[in-house]
Structure 1
Amino acid sequence: MDSRVNEQYAAGHLPAAQNIPHADLRDKLDRLDPSLPVITYCNKGVTGNATQNILLNHNFKNVYNLSGGFQFYDATTED
């Protein structure tokens, strides 16, 4: 789950990532299946971690945060 704003998501994101900005997450929790595993991320990791905590506090069980965020992932995938 990409927790960045829509413009950041549009500029690049992980394959198959669903974009739900952190600010909108509480309003969209009913659209998510708490039984499925979720990986959260943002640019650097802080907002992704906050998103992870919201999900955990709403009884999602398999929630992980991409340490370092998209910038770290993107840096590791360049040739």
Structure 2
Amino acid sequence: MDAWMIVIAGLAGGTLLSRYYGKLKLRRAGVVEVNVPEAERLVSDDGALVVDVRELGEYREGRIPQARHVPLSEMRQRMRDLERDRPIVVSCRSGRRSAYAGIYLARNGFSHVYNLKGGMNAWTRANRQIER
């Protein structure tokens, strides 16, 4: 029984450490995590572009209105189509792939990069409009 408790504690600690490390990587790269209302404010007040990095099938199921589709798998080739000085809110299903995309954009000269915390899951839970 004690061995299982140690394993469970180790897994839980590893998960927490992984999340902390991920947030630290975002901060170091200059990517800011934002919630749904903050993302909406960036779009409406600052003219931010929402970039959806999910694959095509996911994107077609529903997306943030006016989001531009740039799958993570194509980010390297297609980032030149994005404006480097325009604020960008990166989104995916849960916020994980968009975090990777955000770090990549920031490291390649994009100056105002935001990651939508919780991604489309958070957007949907907040009962926001979805474009199909």
Equivalent residue for 1:18, pick from 52, 57, 68: 68
**Which stretches of structure 1, 4 residues or more, deviate above 6 A after TM superposition?**
none
Q: Which residue in the other structure is 1:68 paired with?
A: 118
Structure 1 residue ranges without an equivalent (≥5):
none
Amino acid paired to 1:47:
R
Q: Which residue in the other structure is 2:77 paired with?
A: 27
- In percent, how many aligned pairs have the same letter? 26
Q: Which residue in the other structure is 2:106 paired with?
A: 56
- How many residues are treated as equivalent by the alignment? 78
Amino acid paired to 1:12:
G
Distance 1:18 1:74 in 2: 18
Structure 2 residue ranges without an equivalent (≥5):
1-50
Higher helix share: 2
Distance 1:15 1:40 in 2: 13
Higher strand share: 2
> What value does the CA root-mean-square deviation take over the aligned residues?
0.9
Distance 2:61 2:98 in 1: 17
TM-score, length-scaled by structure 1:
0.94
TM-score, length-scaled by structure 2:
0.57
